[in-house]
Structure 1
Amino acid sequence: MSVHDEQLGELAGVDEAREHVRLGSLAPAAPGPVGLELEAHLVDLQHPRRRVPWDRITGLVDRLGPLPGRSRVTLEPGGQVELSGPPGDDVAAAVAGLRADSAVLRSELGAAGLGLAPLGTDPARPAARVSPGPRYAAMEEHFAAVGCPVAGAAMMTSTASVQVNLEAGAPGGQRDRVALAHALGPVLVAVSASSPMLAGQETGWTSTRQQVWGDLDQGRCGPLLGRRDPADEWADYALAAPVMLVRFTDAGGAEPVSGRVPFADWVTGRTLLGGRRPSAGDLDYHLTTLFPPVRLRGFLEIRYLDAGPAWPALAAVTATLLDDPDAADAAAAACLPVVGRWTAAAHHGLA
């Protein structure tokens, strides 16, 4: 059975698709709980300029027992390791759990001659995909087809971040909360910048990770503009964004889309992908291929921080500036002069 057969049939049209995205964008919930995800580059300590083979990585991960903080371990296409912690009651609890799990993971990897480098970009090795997964193979083909193969490969295989997940807040305050998450972005990009090198070369950017994201399709990776209700804006963003790939089997097969086909064109039948129109499941999967600096997933997914050794402080600052009302007000005022200056922040950092 194909994936879309399990997803209640085709969407009726643009209005149904837009409402589906809107309803999933921001769930009312009081600030407080914090979820954290930490990526790091996996390094063979004996051969640091070689990527670790996929079979070796997956074998180690498969043998890991449950971690003390209950984090989930996943792998990115270049072999980066990601720890995803469950929500903590506050940022201190989330940091403590992820720190404990990171220590266990480092110990297990160290015994196998491997280490973790939490940096925004891989400073030594050229971009190369080691995952054989069909999703990533299709992504690679899509990026090549739409004219950004270099940035696409670097994003998938040579970048790492610390991600902070925060509640969406009460309905009446969600617009300001989403706007503040974006306004903080350039400042926190500059504060977290830890990626001046990529593939053995100095790049001239303090956050090469952010520069890589900026070189990708901004219809997929650009920020929301904050001019309207964020749920409405996110729905329009999702429908205008080009479809990257179409799943076609429940075994995880994927077919890359070789041109720019907005999801709205697929749902109206203007362009058929995979010989059909999309289902709600296809729309949900499409949302996983959108990478704005702040993604709305019922909660706020803050995606713009470089990974770095100081990730606990970055997580604490980000959560506090958004969740503490006094800090949020002060931060909103302080960030006004540099709102939207994502490129300058990536290039110059705190300078």
Structure 2
Amino acid sequence: MTSHETRPGGLTAQTTGTTTDRDGDAPSVLARRRLPDASSDPLLRAADPVAAAEEHVAATALRETPPGHEGGGRVGLELEMHLVDLERPGRRPIWDEVRRLVHDLPALPMGSSVTVEPGGQVELSTPPADDVVLSIAALGIDRDHLRRGLAAAGFGAAPLGTDPARPVRRVNPAPRYSAMERHFDALGCAGAGKAMMSATAALQVNLDAGPEAEWSSRMAHLRAMVPVLVAASSTSPYLAGEASGWHSMRQGVWQGIDHGRSDPFPSGPPAAAWAAYALDAPVMLVLDDGVLRPVTERVRFRDWLSGDALFSRPAVQADLDYHLTTLFPPVRPRGYLELRCLDALPDRWWPAMTALTVTLVDDPVAADLAAEIVAPVHDRWETAAREGLADPAARRAVLGCVELALSRGPVELRSELVALHDLFARGSSPAQELRDRIDAVGPLAVLLEEARA
């Protein structure tokens, strides 16, 4: 999952080499310096802290980028994978082992960073590339180097939406994740919260925001695309050895956490809508006397700003910026746009799903045609997650979108798109392919197969 990042990622990432935990052992800027006093912090100086916070969030939500060439625009990719001991695949590697393993990896040739998630998942994050072909090529090259580096140490990495076999368990001891876990426990979504943190993985596609005049229509189009992307990308028919019947158990997990931080934010001017969503979302963590403490009641950030929350101090801008990293809508503005709704997919499928996604968003002709195709299912988020292509409307929309991507997508990725189209056309899907294999040999065998692939 990419839900807990605090560094600039995707389209703004310029890091190279490897890191062990993108949050380190403490929460971003809040833990690296003392909190500001009233004379320096914008929220503490403001006559109306709520209005000042809304203005700050709206101003930083999206950065205008000029219109690109047809079908183009910068693309950043993030692929999460479940780390697997190839000799003992049923055990989850311990934290010291994960840290040492990632620390010893060489810098990757295309500049991707390697980070570690709460359950020991590893994530590759590419620097931004000028188009989808270059971005896919960069991720593919660094993925191959990561595969070889892990294999030399006896490990593999399985890019699947959920860990299909192993029990859910957090191994990363960072204070952020401990506090997150306690927050989810207190708010009654402990199981979903732990599974989201420790047993899910995503393919995240990061895109430029585009011209300001197009932000509202671009965001509306992305929202309408989500059910199709969920139905097409699912690789999570099993979680921890069990099947719930959901087409995407990863999406089922996300729907099980607090809806105030995981639902899509409302339609309307995106910057203002995002600001309102963020201030109404519950506060998860507070830095108190140098210690990250979970918030164990549902308190909106807006209430903290207005003084209606019984916290030990008033909110400062660093709190607000950190709060934004704890919000997980399917499409999240970070200056650029994060598409967070796709499951991680095996190497045979993620290039095609990436090409499909970017083509149907960034190619203006394809985007207009896709809008018509997805209109019948634009609001069927849960149906897409539960039923996938078993829902006739979703199946028609997915097939239509893949056919459109074939006609408008990059010629360099045509063979990958043809293979994906053929999979759907014969009535299967990445999720069904995995389900059939798990039914034949079991979830642990499939996890090992994908880790070795």
**Structure 1 pair 220–263 and aligned structure 2 pair: CA distance change class (3 A):** same
The counterpart of 1:20, out of the listed 43, 47, 56, is: 56
Secondary structure of 1:201's counterpart equals: coil
1:340 positional shift: 1.7
Larger Rg: 2
1:272 positional shift: 3.7
Q: How does 1:191-340 map to 2 (within 5 A)?
A: 191-226=232-267, 228-248=268-288, 253-273=291-311, 275-309=312-346, 310-340=349-379
Identical columns (%): 54
The counterpart of 1:171, out of the listed 212, 216, 221, is: 212
What is the distance in 1 between the residues matched to 2:389 and 2:310?
A: 47
Aligned equivalent of 2:165: 124
Aligned equivalent of 1:345: 384
8 A contact 1:4–1:282 mirrored in 2: no
What is the distance in 2 between the residues matched to 1:6 and 1:164?
A: 35
Secondary structure of 2:161's counterpart equals: coil
1:10 positional shift: 6.2
What is the distance in 1 between the residues matched to 2:36 and 2:145?
A: 39
Secondary structure of 1:35's counterpart equals: strand
What is the distance in 2 between the residues matched to 1:288 and 1:314?
A: 26
**Structure 1 pair 277–321 and aligned structure 2 pair: CA distance change class (3 A):** same
1:23 positional shift: 0.4
8 A contact 1:189–1:345 mirrored in 2: yes
Structure 2 length normalisation: TM-score?
0.75
The counterpart of 1:61, out of the listed 102, 120, 125, is: 102
Secondary structure of 2:297's counterpart equals: coil
Secondary structure of 1:66's counterpart equals: coil
Aligned equivalent of 1:9: 41
1:249 positional shift: 6.6
What is the distance in 1 between the residues matched to 2:122 and 2:379?
A: 30
The counterpart of 1:153, out of the listed 194, 197, 204, is: 194
What is the distance in 2 between the residues matched to 1:328 and 1:249?
A: 50
Secondary structure of 2:357's counterpart equals: helix
8 A contact 1:10–1:277 mirrored in 2: no
Letter in 1 for 2:277: Y
Secondary structure of 2:144's counterpart equals: helix
Secondary structure of 1:265's counterpart equals: helix
What is the distance in 2 between the residues matched to 1:225 and 1:318?
A: 22
The counterpart of 1:49, out of the listed 90, 97, 102, is: 90
Bigger mean CA offset, 200-209 vs 134-143: 200-209
What is the distance in 1 between the residues matched to 2:244 and 2:94?
A: 27
What is the distance in 1 between the residues matched to 2:173 and 2:226?
A: 33
1:342 positional shift: 1.1
1:345 positional shift: 0.5
Letter in 2 for 1:323: D
What is the distance in 2 between the residues matched to 1:48 and 1:203?
A: 23
Q: How does 1:84-103 map to 2 (within 5 A)?
A: 84-103=125-144
Letter in 2 for 1:255: R
What is the distance in 2 between the residues matched to 1:4 and 1:282?
A: 12
What is the distance in 1 between the residues matched to 2:280 and 2:353?
A: 32
Secondary structure of 2:389's counterpart equals: coil
Residue 29 (str. 1) matches residue 65 (str. 2): yes
What is the distance in 1 between the residues matched to 2:363 and 2:201?
A: 27
Structure 1, unmatched stretches of 5+, are none
What is the distance in 2 between the residues matched to 1:26 and 1:36?
A: 18
Q: Could you list the per-position Cα deviations for residues 157-204 of structure 1 after superposition, in whole angstroms to 9, with x for gaps in the alignment?
A: 000000000011111111000011110000010000110000011120
8 A contact 2:42–2:52 mirrored in 1: no
Structure 2, unmatched stretches of 5+, are 1-29, 391-453
What is the distance in 1 between the residues matched to 2:122 and 2:190?
A: 23
8 A contact 1:4–1:281 mirrored in 2: no
